[in-house]
Amino acid sequence: KAGVTQTPRYLIKTRGQQVTLSCSPISGHRSVSWYQQTPGQGLQFLFEYFSETQRNKGNFPGRFSGRQFSNSRSEMNVSTLELGDSALYLCASSLAGGGSYNEQFFGPGTRLTVL
Amino acid sequence: TQLLEQSPQFLSIQEGENLTVYCNSSSVFSSLQWYRQEPGEGPVLLVTVVTGGEVKKLKRLTFQFGDARKDSSLHITAAQPGDTGLYLCAGVGTTDSWGKLQFGAGTQVVVTP
């Protein structure tokens, strides 16, 4: 079974631009979660989508948004990029996204650098 | 927010030695997961522990969930260079948990031959 894929793997943008990252979950998984990983803050939860609906959201500004398509693929968008948005963005998929056995499987991440 | 504290932050040992990583919180979690992450890659799930007092073994790795479901430990016996990586614990909260894992800051383990 193919794992979680993320595209692109690397991105370089300048301040003020916007960016869209893509995530394809494991086949059959309907929940997709997004995380931001930085050396200072570690892994921080951004949001989760299930059946095209956002069910949960972390403490990030409204510049961070996402969506999920009917095939469970997900995208996240960051508008008006700031230097502090430079990070590894990870998506993770799981079967249902809830409960004790909320086992999440991560993609390789997209490394975003904002200049 | 349910915080998870990992210790130590960094561990450097020789091949063949044992090591233990701790993950502690003042909050109760539905479950705890352990991941290992290598540079430039996403975290890879090692194990999920759900029941208080549960012990799981994965070859040379032993995972324990505290009786009160607030803490967990990872013990590696006879470490090998291939065990090098960032070890992360992640908790599933008892509320507000849809698709959300609360991560510890991680323990960087380096095993030298």
pLDDT along chain B (113 residues), means of 10: 86 97 93 94 94 95 95 97 96 82 95 96
CB contact under 8 A, B101 and A97: no
Of A97, A107, A109, the CB nearest to B99: A97
Burial class (CB within 10 angstroms; exposed 0-12, middle 13-18, buried 19+) of B82: exposed
Nearest chain B CA: its distance from A47 CA (Å): 8
Nearest chain B CA: its distance from A59 CA (Å): 10
CB contact under 8 A, B45 and A33: no
- The pLDDT value given to residue B1: 54
- The pLDDT value given to residue B4: 93
pLDDT tens track for A42-55:
999 999 999 999 99
Nearest chain A CA: its distance from B59 CA (Å): 20
Question: How far does Cα A101 stand from its chain's mean position?
Answer: 20
A15 vs B68: CA distance, rounded Å: 46
CB contact under 8 A, A50 and B98: yes
Q: How many CB atoms lie within 10 A of CB B94?
A: 14
- The pLDDT value given to residue A74: 98
Suggest the residue from A26, A35, A104, A111 to mutate for an interface test with chain B (most B CBs closer than 10 A): A104
Closest CA to B30 of A59, A15, A90, A101: A101
Burial class (CB within 10 angstroms; exposed 0-12, middle 13-18, buried 19+) of A32: buried
Q: What is the mean pLDDT of each run of 10 residues along chain A (115 residues)?
A: 92 98 96 95 94 93 97 97 97 82 90 98
- The pLDDT value given to residue B98: 80
B3 vs A83: CA distance, rounded Å: 26
Suggest the residue from A91, A102, A110 to mutate for an interface test with chain B (most B CBs closer than 10 A): A102
Q: Per the omega criterion (within 30 degrees of 0), is the bond before B39 cis? A: no
